[in-house]
C-alpha cells in the first residue's frame, strides 16, 4: 500500500464458535486503512485502490485470546463491516 490512510479504528464484540458447539465472546480492537490508488495518468504509475485491516488485539475477559487463521479472517471481515457501518452512521448524523 503506497499511500496508507487511516479510515477508522474501533472495538467490537465477536462470537467465536468452538469445536464442542460452545461459543465465546471476544473483544476485538482494529484499525482499517485504505489507499485510493491512482487511476489516471501514465499506466506505469497507475494502481488500483486497496484496503488493509489491522487487528490490534483479540481478547476475552481482558486476556489475549488466540484464534486460528480461519477465525482471524472472519474477524477481519467483521471489522470491515463495523468500519463501513460506522462510516455510514457518521454520514447520516
- Residue 63's domain spans which residues? 5-92
For the segment 46-74, what is each residue's pLDDT rounded down to a tens digit?
888 888 999 999 999 999 999 999 999 99
CATH code of residue 71: 3.30.300
pLDDT at position 53 is 94
pTM of the model: 0.78
**Three-class DSSP category at 68:** coil
Buried b (16+ CB within 10 A) or exposed e, 1-31: eeeeeebbeeebebebeeeeeeeeebebebb
For the segment 8-29, what is each residue's pLDDT rounded down to a tens digit?
899 999 999 888 888 999 999 9
Number of domains in the chain: 1
pLDDT at position 93 is 46
Amino acid at each position: 500500500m503506497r499511500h496508507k490512510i487511516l479510515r477508522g479504528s474501533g472495538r467490537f464484540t465477536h462470537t467465536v464458535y468452538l469445536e464442542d458447539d460452545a461459543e465465546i465472546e471476544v473483544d476485538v480492537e482494529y484499525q482499517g486503512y485504505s489507499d485510493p490508488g491512482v487511476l489516471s495518468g501514465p499506466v506505469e504509475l497507475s494502481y488500483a485502490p486497496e484496503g488493509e485491516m489491522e487487528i490490534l488485539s483479540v481478547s476475552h475477559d481482558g486476556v489475549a485470546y488466540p484464534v486460528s487463521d480461519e477465525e482471524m479472517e472472519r474477524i477481519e471481515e467483521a471489522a470491515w463491516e463495523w468500519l463501513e457501518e460506522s462510516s455510514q452512521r457518521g454520514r447520516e448524523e
